[in-house]
Amino acid sequence: MLDHQLTFKEHLSYTGEKATKVVTALTGMMPNIGGPKSPRRLLLARVCSFVLLYAAPVWTKALNVQAYRRKLPSVYRLSPLRVSTTFRTTSDKAAFAVAGMVPIDILAEKIGTLYN
């Protein structure tokens, strides 16, 4: 989705909504107690990251705007919580460390750097 000024605001909001639907659907498959083991949970969490990182090399420069930079992690936060089977009160850094995942803004910047 492109807008006339190439700010990618519409793209990021649409992608955030789509990833929210994906995470909600996958959350039903991954209850915190029981359910699949950690490697399978990590595989399902990658689906959310692929949805969020679609066309990332094109819009990574938009992450310089703080409002856009805050939008992605709020959607992606549920994935490491489900992979590590922790509570919602767990901090983001701890959840990412326990799950063995990298925050989405760092992944987007890395993809943009590799593309350039």
Confirm whether 16 is domain-assigned. yes
| CA 107 – CA 2 distance, rounded (Å) | 22
> Which DSSP letter does residue 63 get?
G
Q: Where are the alpha helices (DSSP H) in the chain?
A: 9-29, 38-52, 56-59, 66-76, 78-83, 92-99, 104-115
Confirm whether 70 is domain-assigned. yes
pLDDT in tens, 44-80: 888 888 888 888 888 888 888 887 777 788 888 888 8
User: Whole domain around residue 82: which residue ranges?
Assistant: 9-115
The pLDDT of residue 94: 92
Confirm whether 106 is domain-assigned. yes
How many domains does the chain fold into?
A: 1
Question: 63: which residues sit within 8 A by CB, 6+ positions away?
Answer: 69, 72, 105, 108, 109
Confirm whether 4 is domain-assigned. no
Crossing angle, helix 104-115 and helix 66-76, to 10 degrees? 120
pTM of the model: 0.75
Confirm whether 68 is domain-assigned. yes
